[in-house]
Amino acid sequence: MAVSKFYLGYKQLSKAVFEWEAADRTALLAAFMVIEVFSHWLWCLFVWYRRDIYSNYVDITLLYPLWILVSMVGVFLLWMSSRFSPVRNAKSNLYTWQAILITIYSAYITFVITILGHSSLVTGVSLVGGAMLGMMLISRRYVWRAFVGQIIAILAVTLFPYFGITLPNLRQMIATTLPPNIHSYVTYNEMAMMKDATAATVLPNGRLNWDSVNYLRQSSNLLWRSTHIYMSLPKAIFIIYMFRTLLVILDDSRKETLQHANQDELTQLKNRRYGLMQMKQALVSIERAQDFSVILLDLDWFKDINDSYGHDIGDRVLVTVAQALLQSLTDDAIVSRYGGEEFLIVLPDTKHDSAMVIAEQLRLSIADQTIVVDDNTTFNVTASLGLYTLTHDERHCIKHTCEKLSQTESGYQFKKPQVSKSNSERADKKVDTVELPQDICQRLICMADKALYNAKGLGRDKVVSANEMLKAGDTKIESLYSN
Ligand SMILES: Nc1nc2c(ncn2[C@@H]2O[C@H](COP(=O)(O)OP(=O)(O)OP(=O)(O)O)[C@@H](O)[C@H]2O)c(=O)[nH]1
């Protein structure tokens, strides 16, 4: 991962971040921290550079130790995010370094918040943002401890002045002074309403002019307000971006999990469970006058193919057949891999004769497929198909029998089948609200299976209809609900 990430675009990169190794993610977290600390360093540089103006309301003697601390932490973080970082050294204990990184960062942020004069904006974003980023990228247990430690430290430094301990800060304010004095964030409107002489200079007649803008630009209010926004905003935006990325990844992985749960890995067809589920839904949403056909298709002599050419070639046959089925059928058909070399094809709204034509086309299209083993060896594969069509008459008959039996509390147990919302909406008023027995799908497949068995007995590579077997009075088959 560490190598390939450099070849990814930034979108894939942000997704791939969560799959990186722990060491890479720790180094990335350190890199994020470097960016934040560097922005603090730039702020120190800016205030120092304009010390002629800002020395009026920034304690410049305190700025120097802050600047030294920021530089030291910056160097430490640069080292942690670099190629020479101990987190990348297999021999060093990664988790210990993660704990050190998080602890130093937490102490640093607490210090910065204290020295800036307790800004709730910076405190909130740093606390929540730092914890979130940390939990996304490294071992959660260290981040939790550091998070709790940071809350305790911030609470402590906020409460110290109430016990008579004065902590120096750049704004030279005492934390126990009333909140309006601590923050002194005065809006333009409030200024306009102020009656004192300063306000009159800043906003003559309550209106801003270029002189007053210049005055405000250099005022303590504006400096501290912009400082807090400057220190919080980039981190807040970045965290929102990371959170969004995380949600997109979760969404994608949910889709992927669903796909794996419903799909056969080899043939990419629906798997047996999902095929049966869709068959049930199709039966529920069937309209009054519709017939419903089921085909069971089994490859002939498949064991021999495996034995002669190996399992890989056997697998390739399965994939080729699956593709042939998909190409030959319309989107309405439900095709699934029912078993090893068995496929279930459900044709909702298809009458018996049409289903026979489709089954015959499927047989021919499979027989047309040539499997190439090597330059000198090719072979063709055939399939046998069994078909059963549930006519709408038979369906109504089953329903009425079922209703009678359920009234006498004997026979089949009925339960209203679950209808998916989309299917029920689509079917509208014409949907037959038949309550079919729960085992109807298995019984239909069983009828198709009997026809398939007959096709095998007749020499394979054939389509046999269970309906026709019944009509001909074949003793090998009984009607759908004869027992
Ligand atoms: N290559 C491969 N073989 C599989 C897979 N699933 C099942 N099989 C094989 O399919 C073969 C099925 O053999 P049988 O049930 O005897 O059927 P058959 O040889 O096709 O004989 P008939 O159905 O009577 O024509 C078995 O050898 C299984 O091992 C698979 O995913 N890949």
**Which CATH number goes with the domain that contains 466?**
3.30.70.270
Q: Alpha-carbon distance 92 to 87, whole Å?
A: 7
Q: Are strands 292-299 and 370-372 parallel, antiparallel or unpaired?
A: unpaired
Reduce the DSSP state of residue 238 to 3 states and report it. helix
Tokens 């994608």: give the residue.
252
Q: How far is CA 391 from CA 290, 348, 353, 397, 452, in A?
A: 7, 11, 11, 10, 19
| Residue 284: predicted pLDDT | 85
Does residue 302 fall inside a structural domain?
Answer: yes
Q: Assess whether 248 and 377 both reside in one domain.
A: no
Q: Assess whether 14 and 163 both reside in one domain.
A: yes
Does residue 45 fall inside a structural domain?
Answer: yes
Q: Is the CB of 301 under 6 A from ligand 1?
A: yes
Q: How far is CA 393 from CA 174, 389, 399, in A?
A: 89, 11, 10
| Final residue before a domain boundary, out of 234, 258, 282 | 258
Q: Assess whether 327 and 395 both reside in one domain.
A: yes
Atom of ligand 1 nearest to the CA of 315: 1
Q: Assess whether 51 and 146 both reside in one domain.
A: yes
Atom of ligand 1 nearest to the CA of 298: 23
Residues in the chain with pLDDT < 70? Answer: 1-19, 118-119, 172-221, 406-434, 483
Residues whose CB is less than 8 angstroms from the CB of residue 322 and which lie 6 or more positions away in sequence, other chains included: 267, 268, 269, 335, 337, 343
Q: Which of 272, 306, 449 to mutate to test the pocket of ligand 1 (most atoms within 8 A of CB)?
A: 306
| Residue 174: predicted pLDDT | 53
| Final residue before a domain boundary, out of 258, 286, 307 | 258
Reduce the DSSP state of residue 344 to 3 states and report it. strand
Q: Assess whether 307 and 414 both reside in one domain.
A: yes
Q: How many CA atoms lie within 13 A of 10 on its CB side?
A: 2
Q: Quote the domain boundaries for residue 349.
A: 272-471
Q: Assess whether 240 and 147 both reside in one domain.
A: yes
Q: Is the CB of 311 under 6 A from ligand 1?
A: yes
One DSSP character per residue, 350-396 reads: --HHHHHHHHHHHHHHHHH-EEE-SSS-EEE--EEEEEEEE-HHHHH
Q: Is the CB of 264 under 6 A from ligand 1?
A: no
Reduce the DSSP state of residue 164 to 3 states and report it. coil
Which backbone phi and psi does 168 adopt, to 5 degrees?
-70, 145
Does residue 145 fall inside a structural domain?
Answer: yes
Q: Is the CB of 341 under 6 A from ligand 1?
A: yes
Q: Assess whether 33 and 144 both reside in one domain.
A: yes
Q: Is the CB of 260 under 6 A from ligand 1?
A: no
Radius of gyration of the chain (CA): 37
Q: Assess whether 136 and 280 both reside in one domain.
A: no
Q: Assess whether 412 and 309 both reside in one domain.
A: yes
Does residue 367 fall inside a structural domain?
Answer: yes
Q: Assess whether 411 and 283 both reside in one domain.
A: yes
Q: Which of 298, 341, 449, 464 to mutate to test the pocket of ligand 1 (most atoms within 8 A of CB)?
A: 341
Does residue 282 fall inside a structural domain?
Answer: yes
Q: How many CA atoms lie within 13 A of 112 on its CB side?
A: 31
Atom of ligand 1 nearest to the CA of 302: 20
Does residue 32 fall inside a structural domain?
Answer: yes
Q: pLDDT tens digits, residue range 92-126?
A: 788 888 888 888 988 898 888 888 876 677 777 87
Q: How far is CA 140 from CA 24, 123, 341, in A?
A: 16, 21, 47
Does residue 353 fall inside a structural domain?
Answer: yes
Q: Assess whether 308 and 438 both reside in one domain.
A: yes
Does residue 477 fall inside a structural domain?
Answer: no
| Final residue before a domain boundary, out of 208, 227, 258 | 258
Amino acid at 330: T
Q: Assess whether 157 and 285 both reside in one domain.
A: no
Structural domain count, the chain = 2
Which backbone phi and psi does 122 adopt, to 5 degrees?
-65, -40
